[in-house]
Amino acid sequence: MVDDLQSFIATVDKMGECTVVEGADWDIEIGSISEVALNSANPPMLLFDSIKGYPQGYRVVTGAFATAKRCLLALDPEHTDQDLVTYFRRRLKEGIRPIPPVEVSGGLVKENVHVGEDVDVFRFPAPKWHALDGGRYIGTGSVVITRDPDGGWVNMGTFRTQIHDNNTATVYISPGKQTDIIRRKYWAKGKACPAVVVVGSEPVLYYVAAIQFPWGESEYGVAGWLKNKPLEVTAGVTTDLPIPATAEIALEGEMLPPDVEKREEGPFGEWTGYYASGAKMQPVFRIKAILHRNNPVILGTPPLMHFGSAYAVTTAQRLAILWNELDNIVPGIQGVSALEGARGLYMPVISIKQMYPGHAKHTAMAAASSRILAYHYGRYVIVVDDDIDPTNTSEVLWAIASRCDPLNSIDIMRGCWSTGLDPTISPAQKAEGNLTNNKAAVIACKPFHWMDKYPTSFKLSLEEAKKVKEKWQHLFK
């Protein structure tokens, strides 16, 4: 198991999946190269070095988790051929048993410490990822650390971070996220919210920070549980927050109350594939100290227009959580996936073995209101029969085309929880603060009450197809 980002990169390099790119410009070019590379069949991890205007050794990595094999490398290096959703589902069904971090006095992140006038976030080659971005974003694969002032627990989330001047940044956080709730508690008391933006953590920490666990559950403990050992942390030099000891870069500071200072944040090319939220005034993150390793690496996970596997690590984790949650509500769940090319969980697909009238609708409604899909995701919740492989886009589309009656099999759910990143929310809605959207339940199943009379398909069953592949496996390598 790898314990930091640099050892992860070295291991991927030994696997022959790392491509070093020298001389690229931080201004748009790193993002453009990454987008083109990630559209290949087996996308490499790209390590950008000797970036224009920066010394060798100040690097940016992209595509680190673009394949399931690389995602599993940080979790179970002996079994990198596992299915990611199955892996996370199995671990979650075991039950999370948090392993708290242990504090160390130093740590690689403290190889270089800058405070006061020595703080300059532009010492790092933070890219401008897309042509119309409002500035440079050092935080795309970043982890933002805060502490709840009431419960005292440490929370983490992944939020984009734009840099403005030497010691000023903005962190865009959608309303309702745990980090937003925490910072508002400080602001309500007239205080700034202490925070650390970690730019380049070990992969497992990024994995768990990207998922919202129940209130009060620290991602440090979840990461320790996934690794079966505690993570090492070190105390900040200007905050009392625990910082990953092996982090590449840590920006320590405070999120100022919005009535103290704001800066224009964005626009930014978002994961929806649009510059949807536009430019807006956001509270300032004042950087008081910078800690970083020698030869630091910025972990870049920007939204790019590539339509690769639906099994990116964050999607796989969310699908696993959704599947386990549905198992506790609805019987007969056979599989859970998401349509490739539809940007993560915009179009989740759930396969069921129908057992009673309304079973398919029950499944769709439970999924739409689940912990994972309630926030913005699940624009179209698709339910298919158990003879359909939910991971096979062609089969799912066939089911929609041949079993979904537009008049009777699609229902609209209005006024659902969403975000300003949603491109379907009108400017008028945003001006009113109405960040809600609509969802559709798409029932692509044979009608339960006359299922036995539905025309018979000549399609091989999943079990029949499996037997063919096993017997003739040399044909399907």
- Give me the CATH number covering residue 250: 2.30.110.10
**Structural domain for 190, as ranges:** 96-300
- pLDDT tens per residue, range 10-57: 999 999 999 999 999 999 999 989 888 887 778 899 999 999 999 999
Residue 187, pLDDT above cutoff 70: yes
Quote the mean pLDDT of the chain.
Answer: 91
Say whether both 100 and 121 belong to one domain.
yes
Model pLDDT, residue 59: 98
Model pLDDT, residue 14: 94
Mean pLDDT of 454-459: 81
**Highest-scoring range by mean pLDDT, 65-69, 338-342, 400-404:** 400-404
Task: Answer with the one of 248, 277, 300 that is the final residue of a domain.
Answer: 300
Say whether both 289 and 386 belong to one domain.
no
Model pLDDT, residue 467: 84
Residue 33 has φ and ψ, to the nearest 5°, of -60, -40
What CA–CA distance (Å, rounded) separates 461 from 252?
Answer: 56
Say whether both 121 and 254 belong to one domain.
yes
Task: Answer with the one of 249, 279, 300 that is the final residue of a domain.
Answer: 300
Say whether both 212 and 326 belong to one domain.
no
What CA–CA distance (Å, rounded) separates 62 from 9?
Answer: 11
What CA–CA distance (Å, rounded) separates 246 from 110?
Answer: 9
What total of structural domains would you count in the chain? 2
Residue 107, pLDDT above cutoff 80: yes
- pLDDT tens per residue, range 296-352: 999 999 888 665 544 577 788 889 989 999 999 999 999 999 987 777 788 999 999
Say whether both 374 and 263 belong to one domain.
no
Residue 124, pLDDT above cutoff 90: yes
- Is residue 468 in some structural domain? yes
What CA–CA distance (Å, rounded) separates 275 from 303?
Answer: 11
Quote the DSSP letter at residue 138: E
Which residues fall within 8 angstroms of residue 45, CB to CB, at 6 or more apart?
Answer: 9, 12, 17, 18, 19, 61, 62, 63, 64, 66, 70
Query: What residues pair up with 139 in beta bridges, in sequence order?
Result: 161
Distances (CA, A) of 208 to 114, 247, 418: 28, 15, 21
Residue 369, pLDDT above cutoff 60: yes
Model pLDDT, residue 310: 46
Distances (CA, A) of 123 to 59, 134, 249, 291: 11, 19, 11, 12
What CA–CA distance (Å, rounded) separates 119 from 109?
Answer: 15
Say whether both 272 and 322 belong to one domain.
no
Q: What is the number of other CB atoms lying within 10 angstroms of the CB of residue 279? A: 13
Say whether both 288 and 317 belong to one domain.
no
- Answer whether the bond into residue 283 is a cis peptide, omega within 30°: no
Classify residue 200 as exposed, middle or buried by CB count within 10 Å of its CB (0-12, 13-18, 19+).
Answer: buried
Mean pLDDT of 346-373: 94
Model pLDDT, residue 430: 85
Model pLDDT, residue 75: 86
Mean pLDDT of 124-139: 95
Model pLDDT, residue 136: 97
Task: Answer with the one of 244, 265, 300 that is the final residue of a domain.
Answer: 300
Mean pLDDT of 418-433: 86
What CA–CA distance (Å, rounded) separates 267 from 256?
Answer: 21
